[in-house]
Structure 1
Amino acid sequence: MSIEISKTHALIADALDYRAARQDMIASNIANADTPYYKPRDIHFQEALITKRNALYSDNDAQLELAQTDPKHLTPKSASSATKATLYFRDGHMARNDGNSVDIDVETTEMSKNSIMFNALIMANKKDGAIFKSVIDASAKVN
């Protein structure tokens, strides 16, 4: 049995895991910059985090149902359909003569953006923990 600190803590932990996996994938792309026929890979996890956030913070009583006024309308997707991060090959870059399409400028830019987001998540996690620490400190002073 584990104690849940906050819903935000679990969401930040998942986001940190995804950011770490993306950092490894970008590093792998840079390491394979000279490998013939290598296609750069990336990880897409925003939908998985949005789905988890909606599941954590959903208030089922206040949720509006989508009305289907015509039987030809598409049915809405369930919330559990996008719960995993998806791996894909990053496309759109010109392949060199050896078939490799890794662009070092793009990879280093993506690595920098990912690193900034990782550090922002670390700071958010510290801030989330500081809120509980301040409550514990304040309750100790009451006695």
Structure 2
Amino acid sequence: MAINLNKLVGFHHQAVNIREDRMEVIAGNLANANTPGYKAKDIDFKQAMASAQGNQQSSMVRTHDKHIGGTASASPFDLQFRIPSQPDTGDGNTVEVQTERNAFLENGMRYQASLQFLDSKLKGMKKALSGGQG
């Protein structure tokens, strides 16, 4: 009987990757909080996961004309501009530091939870493979 690791951890692996990408985007927003004209960006996690799940079967990128077709992009999401809740301060920057910090902390907690879930899945698989010993 073949073991399909993608069925075991595929969804959570994708979630971890998207959360990691989102942390980088939010960190970039925080780093540019004082940059005039900078527009805060974000990743819509639900949309990114739906896109990743849809691309799960065809996740290969076509690199040569004679290769079997794949997706045009390896990225399962599009960056979106964050809509500011505060009025413009005059420099065109839309980064709201407190909003970004809160988003970073929430995303970090969810990232950690996903890692713990993946860890427990893999430990369970290891235990099953070793015959319940360990």
TM normalised by structure 1 equals: 0.68
- Residues 3-12 or 96-105, more deviating: 3-12
2:102 corresponds in structure 1 to 109
Bigger Cα Rg: 1
Distance 1:21 1:120, change over 3 A: same
CA contact (8 A) 1:36 1:99 kept: yes
2:66 corresponds in structure 1 to none
Sequence identity percentage: 27
Q: Which structure shows the bigger proportion of residues in helix conformation?
A: 1
- Unmatched tracts of structure 2, length 5 or more: 57-74
**3-state SS in 1 of match to 2:5:** coil
Cα offset, 1:136, TM superposition: 2.1
**3-state SS in 1 of match to 2:19:** helix
Give the aligned residue type for 1:12: H
Aligned partners of 1:116, 1:131: CA distance in 2, in Å?
Answer: 23
Task: Write out aligned runs for 1:1-143 (5 A).
Answer: 4-50=4-50, 53=53, 84-93=76-85, 94-138=87-131
Distance 1:54 1:24, change over 3 A: closer
Q: Which structure's relative contact order is higher, taking Cα pairs within 8 Å and 6+ residues apart? A: 1
Cα offset, 1:96, TM superposition: 1.1
Aligned partners of 1:104, 1:55: CA distance in 2, in Å?
Answer: 34
